[in-house]
Amino acid sequence: MPLQKPFITQLQSRLTGDFNQPVTIRSVSPVSGGSINSAWCVHTDNGDFMLKVNSKSAYPGMFRLEAEGLATIRNTQTIAVPNVILHGDFDDHSFLLLEWIDAQRATPQASQQLGRQLAAMHRHTANHFGFTANNYMGSLPQSNRQHANWSAFFVAERLQSMVKLGVDKHLLNSQDVQNFEKLYLRLPELFAEEQPALIHGDLWGGNYIIGTNGIPYLIDPAVSYGHREFDLAMTTLFGGFAREFYEAYHEAYPLAPNWQLRTDLWNLYPLLLHLNLFGTGYLGQVREGLQQYV
């Protein structure tokens, strides 16, 4: 969506108030890569900022929840996230203004640091699986009701809602539903329960940045307290993570044996989400992944 002058004027006023000094927006330039939000680099006389804009009515509370997720990660003091400058609404627009991070390609050293720091973040635990608030995974609402174990949480708050949506959209058939029901019954025997870990929740290769200072930053979180294998599984789904990342993670916080055999299990959730968002191109991957465990 193009940025209108009244919105830019309002943003400039908010920045002036936030910095307690006059701030002038000199220009804005589009940033590629967002499928849900429009993204912009805001050039001001006080530096550059990352601006994300979407529809307040279509995605109520999305940026407030994203800001809360970033704050939750930041408060662990384990891994960097962009600083949140402002978030709010203007007419039907919601916006989130973030620190601008100049990026570079991941070096082996940066990948190692990312692995070690993610492992440190995963050591932050809670008493229950879930989170204090619901949030979003991509553009779909994500329920984070709390459960005592990962099996119950993964079924009730992750798979069942996505399967129901797939049926409602006529993307999944009755045999698919039966297979998922079999999985729900088998799930507790397929993995070892662990303490709830703070997870990013949407950790594909596009959701981290290596700054020009070599520091890794996590972006676009869908946080909850979950099983840490879920984060590691998502890193394998679309690529973008180097061998050094996995080696450093495993050295810092070893995973249970044969964790790689469960990546397709945990990736059923993001694949179902992609099926519901983008259609039958993901149906084969969902069925192939499911068939391994039923």
Summarised one tens digit per residue, pLDDT across range 23-77 is 999 999 999 866 688 999 999 999 999 999 999 999 999 999 999 999 999 999 9
End residue of a domain, out of 99, 130, 161: 99
Provide the β-strand partners of residue 140. 137
Backbone angles phi, psi at 268, to 5 degrees: -60, -35
Under 8 Å between Cβ of 84 and 136: no
| Domain count for the chain | 2
Whether 107 and 55 map to the same domain: the answer is no
Whether 158 and 282 map to the same domain: the answer is yes
Whether 266 and 171 map to the same domain: the answer is yes
Please report the pLDDT score of residue 4 as a whole number.
87
Residue 222 is part of a domain; what is its CATH number? 3.90.1200.10
Whether 93 and 109 map to the same domain: the answer is no
Please report the pLDDT score of residue 11 as a whole number.
95
CA distance 195 to 129: 8
Model confidence pTM above 0.85: yes
CA distance 143 to 139: 13
Whether 261 and 130 map to the same domain: the answer is yes
- For residue 190, count other CB atoms closer than 10 A to its CB: 13
End residue of a domain, out of 68, 99, 130: 99
174-187 residue pLDDT tens: 999 999 999 999 99
Whether 185 and 257 map to the same domain: the answer is yes
Question: Looking at the predicted structure, is the pLDDT value of residue 87 above 70?
Answer: yes
Please report the pLDDT score of residue 1 as a whole number.
58
For the segment 16-27, the average pLDDT, to the nearest whole number, is 93
Q: pLDDT-derived band of residue 3, with 50, 70 and 90 as boundaries? A: confident
Helix ranges, 60-188 (H) = 62-75, 108-122, 150-153, 160-168, 174-186
Whether 57 and 70 map to the same domain: the answer is yes
End residue of a domain, out of 99, 127, 150: 99
Token pair, residue 97, equals: 């203004």
For the segment 161-186, the average pLDDT, to the nearest whole number, is 98
CA distance 193 to 230: 12
Residue 50 is part of a domain; what is its CATH number? 3.30.200.20
Q: Which residues are catalytic?
A: 202
53-62 residue pLDDT tens: 999 999 999 9
Distances (CA, A) of 262 to 74, 108, 205, 266: 29, 26, 19, 7
CA distance 70 to 79: 11
Whether 107 and 85 map to the same domain: the answer is no
Give the structural domain span for 94: 5-99
Whether 87 and 17 map to the same domain: the answer is yes
Residue-wise DSSP of 227-271:
-HHHHHHHHTTS----HHHHHHHHHHSPPPTTGGGGHHHHTHHHH
Whether 255 and 128 map to the same domain: the answer is yes
213-230 residue pLDDT tens: 999 999 999 999 999 999
CA distance 30 to 223: 27
CA distance 286 to 267: 9
For the segment 89-98, the average pLDDT, to the nearest whole number, is 94
Token pair, residue 23, equals: 């701030």
Q: How far is CA 127 from the centre of its chain?
A: 22
Question: Looking at the predicted structure, is the pLDDT value of residue 138 above 80?
Answer: yes
Please report the pLDDT score of residue 34 as a whole number.
63
Whether 227 and 88 map to the same domain: the answer is no
Q: Is 34 left (phi over 0), alpha (psi -120 to 50) or beta?
A: beta
pLDDT > 90: percent of the chain: 95
Please report the pLDDT score of residue 36 as a whole number.
80
Judged by DSSP in three states, 18 sits in helix
Please report the pLDDT score of residue 275 as a whole number.
98
Whether 15 and 144 map to the same domain: the answer is no
Under 8 Å between Cβ of 24 and 13: no
